[in-house]
Amino acid sequence: MSTLDQVTFHSIAQLQQALDAGSLTSEALVRAQLARIEHFDEQLNAYVEAYPARALSAAIAADRQRAAGIRLGPLHGIPLAIKDLFEIDGQAITGGSLAQAPRVSKLTATAVQRLERAGAIILGKTQTVEFAFGGWGTNAVMGTPWNPWDRNVHHAPGGSSSGSAVAVASGLASAALGTDTGGSVRIPAGMCGLVGLKTTRGLISRHGLIELCPSLDSVGPITTQLKMRRGCWMHCWARTRWIRFRPSPLYSAPLPVSISR
């Protein structure tokens, strides 16, 4: 495995350190992940569609901003994958189903818009269980992503954000956006050895999302490491206009030693 291949598995904090130090560029990182998508995704089936031209253009822009002293935040120049339930203007959306012909979105989901405003780079759309209804990650019509921990036997990746978890676990994205109704971020994260967060319903806008159950759906990240310092993830993953996240010191405080199992 080359040095750049190894970098594709680094946490966002590690990537930002390398970008700030000048030992890595967003363009090099995106090219490495696109190369891995081309090489591995025929088997892994994490992506419905990758956006090479869009991603490279955004990476070059991010490098130019950084060179000019502009830093947009902890996701600036970081490549992400997006579950194929989110609208992205000008791109096809399937919701993991072929029941209807894929349509081209005419808007971009609010969460995706704000990720891009924070400097994140969108690599493409990832597979999902059909209409997000299932926890194993299987999809009979569009193919079940391959859990990357065993390339010889096709194990379930967990769902419904199956492709998002497989992409991150196999170095095809540095993090991914998923949705969680009854475990659809947490299950694939757990089955692929990652971290997934079901955020509080309403904390992150669901505008532009194909919903399964509006009373339970929430948007959340899948990543190798969830660093909640100062609530940076919540601010970058898009606040709604009604709710603002204020991190509580309770989340980072050590547990009392008197707590027993």
> Is residue 160 annotated as a catalytic residue, yes or no?
yes
Phi, psi of 143 (to 5 degrees): 95, 140
Q: CA–CA separation, 69 vs 88, rounded Å? A: 29
Phi, psi of 56 (to 5 degrees): -65, -40
Give the active site residue among 26, 97, 160, 164: 160
> Is residue 184 annotated as a catalytic residue, yes or no?
yes
Give the active site residue among 97, 162, 184, 218: 184
Buried b (16+ CB within 10 A) or exposed e, 76-112: bbbbbbbbbbbbbeebebbbbbeeeeeeebeebbbbb
Q: CA–CA separation, 195 vs 95, rounded Å? A: 23
> Is residue 57 annotated as a catalytic residue, yes or no?
no
Residue numbers annotated as active site: 83, 160, 184
